[in-house]
A and B are shown apart, each in its own frame.
Chain A
Amino acid sequence: MSEALRMFGAIAGAWVRAGFTYRTSFVVLTSTGMILTFLDFAIILIMFSHLDALGGFTLTQIAVLYGLSGFAIGVADLLLGNAEMLGQRVRDGTLDQMLVRPVPALVQVAADRFALRRVGRVLQSGAVLGWGLSAAPIDWTPLRVLVLASALVCGSLIFASLFVLGGAFQVFAGDASEVANAFTYGGNTLTQYPLAIYPVEVVRAVTFIVPLAFVNWYPALYVLGVDDPFDLPAAFQVASPVVAALFVAVAALTWRTALRHYRSTGS
């Protein structure tokens, strides 16, 4: 594991150094990236110019939901977002090159073309989260701090697993990469709002099938001290670590299976 991280650092580092040669471009892209992700929140702000609460949640409470989800997908996208390009790699044969190097293919897929500018989303979401946490009325206990901290880690792991699953899917259906977007970026958009605004079928789907609700919804209910409008078991609110561990295992297994069924291109 530490070896994998070291390799990730080595490859990603080379890309960061190469990227700094176009310094102005890096600054422009990072800041427009931050603006682009902030626009999601601007939309929520505009909504709240007409509302006091959305789905029973105040603006500061929604800032917590938004911040947790954005931070999680931001970290996952920074570290593993390049799995999105896997279909392209299958088509142009660069995956073959990665498979003959002594570093796990996933580490190379993730680190190759590493784009530091994606840190913009992490910073922007982190700022919104910080504002939400300081402004929302929260009765802080050690356990709430722990649940919050674990949500940051587990949410990132759940989104990272989604990126890996999306990559594995592309080993078979190379040009259908957009399906993965529905789950990753779609999942991010979905969880920016309180799940209370969706029908119960959607909530069940993101609890039991694609565990997006464990990224921010259940931990936030616990941290904010809000009752679950769907009356699902209270244990869910502290279950993110278990769910994340399971989902990581599913993603890892699927990735391995995908590589064993990889057909390569050409004859």
Chain B
Amino acid sequence: MSASLYAGLASRGFRRYATYRSATLAGIFTNTVFGVIISYTYIALWVERPQLGGYGIAQALTFAWVAQALIMPVGLFGGGIVADYSERVRSGAVATDLQRPAPLLAVRLAEDLGRAAYALLTRGIAPMLVGALLFPLAWPSSVSTWLLFALSITLAVVIGFALRYLLGLLAFWIIDTSGPASVLVVLQIFASGSALPLVTFPGVLRRICELLPFRCLVQVPCDVLLREDTGTGSLPLIGLQLLWATTLLGLGAVLTRAAVRTVVVQGG
């Protein structure tokens, strides 16, 4: 399959979401309000405990706004392109998806990257600008840090997609996926660090969260951004994201093949 096909799919994902202009504005407003609320709770915490988790107040506030910016791109609350999947399995429309010449996983990923790009440019960046006006944020000066941050965000989007894709595949085996979907949302919000940086979590809880892929969604990109050194210290973090991305996508590919077999068996 040609690269232009996937570029087209990504651009379609982008444009599909770009049509909901007032919804986007509403989302920016809401993300900003939550950013402000969370900022004041972090200020209250870090004023009492300066350097908690190795962050100063400015770093903690930057974390708060980057986490808000990443909510939609990485799909912390679920949704996105793979959300309608169980409906497609039930209606049988999925058979046409599986018969397309391009592999389903790659098609969905391309579309989701387009969606995430739009979410990042609007609901990611706009609240961040407001946050930067209202609060003293800590921006790195080195270009290499920014480049690694961009790479880390991209990997976070891919991992977020892979998690939702795997959830979508569940629909091939169980009728109602709303239960697992809400469990996934709980894990993504809490264990990603989006509600409170994982560096503040107490011992055991922190170690458990560090074993899970969810920290790659928010905590890891934030750490990449907040590292003050030349950036090479972030390479193990990027490596960790790569590892999770390939593992989850690989699992997705294997399970897609299994899903195709169930459809063939059911004659769907």
- Touch A–B, Cβ below 8 Å: yes
Contacts from A to B (Cβ < 8 Å): 22, 24-25, 28-29, 32-33, 35-36, 39-40, 42-43, 46-47, 49-51, 53-55, 173, 175-179, 181-182, 186, 189-190, 193, 197-199, 202
CB of A43, distance to nearest CB on chain B (Å): 5
Q: Are B49 and A186 in contact (CB under 8 A)?
A: no
B84 at interface, CB cutoff 8 A = no
In the complex, chain B residues whose CB is within 8 Å of the CB of A197: 40-41, 43-44
Q: Are A25 and B178 in contact (CB under 8 A)?
A: yes
In the complex, chain A residues whose CB is within 8 Å of the CB of B202: 46, 49
Q: Are A51 and B179 in contact (CB under 8 A)?
A: no
In the complex, chain A residues whose CB is within 8 Å of the CB of B22: 173, 175-176
Q: Are B45 and A51 in contact (CB under 8 A)?
A: yes
In the complex, chain B residues whose CB is within 8 Å of the CB of A55: 44
Q: Are A50 and B49 in contact (CB under 8 A)?
A: yes
| Contact among B26, B48, B178 for A50, CB-based, below 8 A | B48
Residue of chain A at shortest CB distance from B41: A193
Q: Are B195 and A36 in contact (CB under 8 A)?
A: no
| Contact among B20, B26, B37 for A189, CB-based, below 8 A | B37
Q: Tell me the bound Cα distance from A177 to B22 in angstroms.
A: 9
In the complex, chain A residues whose CB is within 8 Å of the CB of B182: 28-29, 32-33, 36
Q: Are A182 and B179 in contact (CB under 8 A)?
A: no
In the complex, chain A residues whose CB is within 8 Å of the CB of B176: 22, 25
Residue of chain A at shortest CB distance from B202: A49
Q: Are B29 and A178 in contact (CB under 8 A)?
A: yes
**12 residue pairs bridging A and B, Cβ less than 8 Å apart:** A32-B179, A42-B190, A46-B196, A51-B49, A54-B45, A175-B20, A177-B23, A178-B30, A179-B26, A179-B30, A193-B41, A199-B40
User: Would you give the 0/1 interface string for B1-37, flagging 1 where the beta carbon is closer than 8 Å to chain A?
Assistant: 0000000000000000000101101110110011001
Residue of chain B at shortest CB distance from A56: B44
| Contact among B20, B40, B49, B183 for A198, CB-based, below 8 A | B40
Main secondary structure of the interface of A (DSSP, over half): helix
Residue of chain A at shortest CB distance from B23: A175
Q: Are A186 and B33 in contact (CB under 8 A)?
A: yes
Q: Are A43 and B195 in contact (CB under 8 A)?
A: yes
B201 at interface, CB cutoff 8 A = yes
CB of A238, distance to nearest CB on chain B (Å): 26
Q: Are A29 and B178 in contact (CB under 8 A)?
A: yes
Q: Tell me the bound Cα distance from A24 to B179 in angstroms.
A: 9
User: Would you give the 0/1 interface string for B193-216, flagging 1 where the beta carbon is closer than 8 Å to chain A?
Assistant: 001100011100100000000000
Q: Are A176 and B26 in contact (CB under 8 A)?
A: yes
**Residue among A33, A173, A176, A199 with the most chain B CB within 10 A?**
A176
In the complex, chain A residues whose CB is within 8 Å of the CB of B20: 175
B116 at interface, CB cutoff 8 A = no
Q: Tell me the bound Cα distance from A39 to B194 in angstroms.
A: 12
B159 at interface, CB cutoff 8 A = no
B189 at interface, CB cutoff 8 A = yes
B263 at interface, CB cutoff 8 A = no
In the complex, chain A residues whose CB is within 8 Å of the CB of B178: 25, 28-29
In the complex, chain B residues whose CB is within 8 Å of the CB of A25: 176, 178-179
CB of B143, distance to nearest CB on chain A (Å): 34
CB of A228, distance to nearest CB on chain B (Å): 18
In the complex, chain A residues whose CB is within 8 Å of the CB of B121: none
In the complex, chain A residues whose CB is within 8 Å of the CB of B23: 175-178
B186 at interface, CB cutoff 8 A = yes
Q: Are A47 and B30 in contact (CB under 8 A)?
A: no
Q: Tell me the bound Cα distance from A32 to B189 in angstroms.
A: 13
Q: Tell me the bound Cα distance from A176 to B179 in angstroms.
A: 27
A36-B189, A179-B26 are known contacts; what are 14 more A-B pairs with Cβ within 8 Å?
A22-B176, A29-B179, A32-B186, A33-B182, A39-B190, A46-B201, A47-B45, A47-B196, A176-B23, A176-B25, A177-B23, A186-B30, A189-B37, A193-B41
Q: Are B45 and A177 in contact (CB under 8 A)?
A: no
Q: Tell me the bound Cα distance from A39 to B178 in angstroms.
A: 19
In the complex, chain A residues whose CB is within 8 Å of the CB of B30: 178-179, 181-182, 186
Q: Are A36 and B34 in contact (CB under 8 A)?
A: no
